[in-house]
Structure 1
């Protein structure tokens, strides 16, 4: 209708806000081109916006309800909510997980979730977790498994189990018998170091992450568990011999020093964590040492091709995982005003 009210024009160009609804923009372009065939069209809608809108449109058509997460003033997020509503799907537009309490979601068996481009991942995680707690009774088993998975990830038990599994892989590569003690040493060490380093630098390790609520509510308990896990790992190591104990003690000592200000004042870097890329390298080295090298040392093996391969395998896997995690964290860090280390 607005196009028909335009006066006669010789030169016409069509542009749109980068977050505009792609379908609506297409309709407007067709209307303008119908009246002004000479019009020049510029595709100014960004690719990520177009893909996200298409995903929301497809998801809303399959779900009983939709939850769109993002700021009230975000044109991008508001557009996603409008697209979802246009599909005839009940749509809830919220900024935080706390707003879920005011809406009856238990009657829906399938709920889709999407978010604006600027919405931090940890906010989305909280919303997804909150939705799981409101699922209908028919989804109790799925909800239980989902909540268990979230608990394992949030409390770093998931990472500890991963370290144990990497020990198993290293043992197979090096062709020595499996020992429960070394599995537990790897798992307990990783669990302890993850938690201790998070609390030593809450701003980088906890605040603003999806673990924040879980850890800060039970800070004393988690610190106690971390200390006990580290002591248990050291006890298991000394039971295997003095060499694995000394190696684990050294790795643990260096791990604790990671967040400490050990360099003199006046320098640009006061701690190891402030060195660019140090987290990825140090974490990968620690995991590789405790899963691939320490068991071999304890069993009396010398450096071999198998040990080198196992070390490089673990280092590479953990390094890639750490880098990917950092890439995901960059978005959150920018929004809350901190540097990704």
Structure 2
């Protein structure tokens, strides 16, 4: 069974902006924050905001305090003025595409035009648009309703930004034939157009379509209707728990799309559920190995194995003693720190990786014991090898244990190390570089060859960590984490990853050519290319989000170890 996720699925630009604005405001202040009306049409997001203490108000009080955010759909201009007069600090989270329509209507209303709005009169966006149209505004939801309107001397026709594109095309034809003097503005958001076009195309090649999103979301309902119009089975759900898996049991190819207000974690949860329940390998051996791989992945045993393999690769590059104790030390330390980090990250994992979050909540005592035992074992190995290495690893372990604790002076403005922006990405990279390169070099003294080996290790780890931070932006922003992508933005982070992998490749190539590191560099320099290509394919939706993608990225370190062993 094949699963395809629409590239256009999930938050559109306007919804992402609104959610980011309210979360950033919440994380930046302790003042009261609320939204005027539901911020977006998605029950899970609204529930999340309620849990963060961000309620929505439906009426404007005589006296307000704190900050109020105007919903993504926009509001009538008089409502915004009343909120300001009530004493609120107003943050306008109206989608820029909606603001464009508001501007068009206001400009032409001031010039004496009537405004015909194609949309649902009861939809919040249309209510807001009618506020800009004044007495000359009218909303129609069908061509038949449009035909019944009286003729206007001067009028404009606009559409709700999430309106059906086919219906608006019919309206434009009608206007040209019956009222060529009317001004028609194509105000349907291009995101809506692309989403509907992709849904129509996917439905034609798939056996069934699952549309994920709030039932109050107009654009989500239209996506479901677009899918049904192709004649294929289409299921509109708010959460995967509503889906009857038996109805999809015979489908060989399932398409998943989602409305503009559907968060990534709901889409990924739907994909993971379908993959786990319908995408089980037919091969008996693969079916038996799948649960083992999932356990290795969720308990961080897979990434700790990758750390051991990367240590072996770095030792090969430097030409130092291939002592298994170095790889074992790296494995044990990384396992300990990753488990501890996940124990403190359950809240964000409930959005980013719910399967892992549930595992950690169910087996918390066992995982705490695993972290302590593996960390202690790693320290014992270094103590038996080198006191210097032991001291370094001890300091690193103490820093890792205190990462989530309130230990910083109040004068710094931060309570914990984790509160320092981008600290997670940078500290993980530094820790990996130390255990995979520096500790082996201390045990077997080397020269400058440790530098390109360190660049190789830290470059791969930085790219891997930053990439997963990009994938987890929504959950991290909800829980107030200041990761690198949140600090500098998604696109800049992805560009940084590309540059880091390019530098890693060039450093390994040049260092091998000049003889600074062993000839194994000619093969290992392909690993950053492999990781970069895997990240590129993920952006093209070649891998399903979740298990598939995690295994592909984490296996890059294991590939480095295998390549070192073979060559």
| Fold in common (TM above 0.5) | yes
Q: Which residue of structure 1 aligns with residue 341 of structure 2? A: 197
Q: State the alpha-carbon separation in 1 of the partners of residues 184 and 297 from structure 2.
A: 48
Q: Taking structure 1 as reference, are residues 135 and 328 closer, same or farther at Cα in structure 2, changes over 3 Å only?
A: closer
For structure 1, the residue ranges without an aligned partner over 5 or more in a row are: none
Q: CA deviation at 1:136?
A: 7.3
Q: Could you say what the CA RMSD is over the residues aligned between the two structures, in angstroms? A: 3.0
Q: Which residue of structure 2 aligns with residue 95 of structure 1? A: 238
**Which of 322, 325, 335 is the matching residue for 1:181?**
325
| Superposed CA offset, 1:27-78 (max 9, x none) | 4333333433455443433343333333322222222112222222222322
Q: Which residue of structure 1 aligns with residue 366 of structure 2? A: 221
Decide whether the 8 Å contact of 1:201 with 1:259 is kept in 2. no
Q: Which residue of structure 2 aligns with residue 256 of structure 1? A: 401
Q: Which residue of structure 2 aligns with residue 159 of structure 1? A: 303
Please list, as runs of the form range in 1=range in 2, the aligned pairs for 1:100-139 lying within 5 A after superposition: 100-101=243-244, 103-135=246-278, 139=282
Q: CA deviation at 1:113?
A: 1.7
Q: Which residue of structure 2 aligns with residue 19 of structure 1? A: 162
Q: CA deviation at 1:213?
A: 1.7
Q: CA deviation at 1:271?
A: 0.9
Q: CA deviation at 1:17?
A: 2.5
Q: Which residue of structure 2 aligns with residue 339 of structure 1? A: 480
Q: State the alpha-carbon separation in 1 of the partners of residues 187 and 255 from structure 2.
A: 28
Q: Taking structure 1 as reference, are residues 181 and 90 closer, same or farther at Cα in structure 2, changes over 3 Å only?
A: farther
- Higher Cα Rg: structure 1 or 2? 2
Decide whether the 8 Å contact of 1:81 with 1:93 is kept in 2. yes
TM-score in terms of structure 2 length:
0.53
Q: State the alpha-carbon separation in 2 of the partners of residues 135 and 122 from structure 1.
A: 19
Q: Which moved more, 1:321-330 or 1:211-220?
A: 321-330
Decide whether the 8 Å contact of 2:317 with 2:453 is kept in 1. yes
- How many pairs were matched up? 336
Q: Which residue of structure 2 aligns with residue 35 of structure 1? A: 178
Q: Does 1:86 align with 2:229?
A: yes
Decide whether the 8 Å contact of 1:17 with 1:45 is kept in 2. yes
SS at 1:104 equivalent: helix
| Superposed CA offset, 1:149-189 (max 9, x none) | 55444333343244334334433433435443333322332
SS at 1:92 equivalent: strand
Q: Which residue of structure 2 aligns with residue 326 of structure 1? A: 469
Decide whether the 8 Å contact of 1:135 with 1:143 is kept in 2. no
Decide whether the 8 Å contact of 1:108 with 1:135 is kept in 2. no
Q: CA deviation at 1:117?
A: 3.4
| Superposed CA offset, 1:107-156 (max 9, x none) | 22222222233333333232222212432788566776766655444333
Q: Which residue of structure 1 aligns with residue 418 of structure 2? A: 273
Decide whether the 8 Å contact of 1:68 with 1:92 is kept in 2. yes
Q: Which residue of structure 2 aligns with residue 46 of structure 1? A: 189
